[in-house]
Amino acid sequence: MQKVIALDGPSASGKGTIAARVAAALGWAYLDSGALYRLTALHAQNHNIDWANEAAVAALAAELPAEFRGQTVWLDGQDVTQAIRSERIGMGASAVAKLLAVRQALLQRQRNFLTAQGLVADGRDMGSTVFPEAQLKIFLTASAQIRAERRAKQIGVPLDGAAFAQILADIQARDAADRSRPVAPLQQLPDAKLLDTSHRSIEETVQQVLDWYQA
Ligand code: CDP
């Protein structure tokens, strides 16, 4: 058993927020594995490397000059905390995350986040590949409607117009693509606990994770 809580779930399920808060509550380290794929995509873009060029992107990922400092993320000595959150880099992250050689290049780096205290790890293959011996695995989800409503509120979109319908359609399309992708598909592992946050607050969700861990 590894002192790891692994969290996965569909896009916009709030796993990053929950994982960071659980880590803070336990005094454990936190791994935002999606950030590593975003950093890889940005690094490739900065080097004019096509996101589909598996060997070249994997070589960059293996030597990624990235650092996490508190709440900030740095690449090549530059603060890229905001830059990696753009829609475009999100698409790039999704493209490079499909490449097996890139996933392999990032594997050990992710495992190095585990400290003696423990680690909360957020991302697609945390429980299946990176930390298969994790003490607790959680599949965090919420209905597509609720996830779309949360996203719309975040960016100030009314819940009754065409813009909202588009957000919901995007989330549904993203779910379908994530479930059917051949590499690291979105799935609930047989040994993962299902945590549906549709009718739970952030605090209640964090508490449920802590209760399971302490049980
Ligand atoms: O919230 P969202 O899933 O859009 O973003 P993220 O967690 O920052 O992940 C960025 C991209 O990397 C997504 O396409 C994820 O599916 C992918 N990813 C992955 O394949 N494996 C991970 N361990 C983490 C993220």
The 10s digit of each residue's pLDDT in 85-105 is 998 999 999 999 999 999 999
Q: Is 23 exposed, middle or buried (0-12, 13-18, 19+ CB in 10 A)?
A: buried
CA of 32 to the centre of ligand 1 (A): 9
Phi-psi region of 68 (alpha: psi -120 to 50; beta: other; left: phi over 0): beta
What pTM value is reported for the model?
A: 0.94
Contact of 38 with 93, CB cutoff 8 Å: yes
**Closest residue CA from atom 14 of ligand 1:** 94
Percentage of the chain modeled with pLDDT above 90: 95
SS3 105: helix
**Closest residue CA from atom 15 of ligand 1:** 94
H helix intervals, the chain: 15-26, 33-46, 54-62, 87-96, 100-111, 144-155, 162-180, 202-214
Q: What is the structure's pLDDT at 167?
A: 95
**CB hemisphere CA count around 179 (13 angstroms):** 9
Atom of ligand 1 nearest to the CA of 37: 12
Q: Is the Cβ atom of 113 under 6 angstroms away from ligand 1?
A: no
Q: Is the pLDDT of residue 70 over 90?
A: no
Per-residue confidence band for 213, with pLDDT thresholds at 50, 70 and 90:
very high
Which of 97-101, 120-124, 129-133, 151-155 is predicted least confidently? 151-155
Rounded to an integer, the average pLDDT of 165-173 is 95
Per-residue confidence band for 138, with pLDDT thresholds at 50, 70 and 90:
very high
| Residues ≥6 apart with Cβ < 8 Å to 169 | none
Rounded to an integer, the average pLDDT of 109-127 is 97
The 10s digit of each residue's pLDDT in 180-207 is 999 999 999 999 999 999 999 999 999 9
Contact of 127 with 15, CB cutoff 8 Å: no
CA of 95 to the centre of ligand 1 (A): 10
Q: Is the Cβ atom of 33 under 6 angstroms away from ligand 1?
A: yes
Q: Is the pLDDT of residue 119 over 90?
A: yes
The 10s digit of each residue's pLDDT in 17-31 is 999 999 999 999 999
CA of 123 to the centre of ligand 1 (A): 6
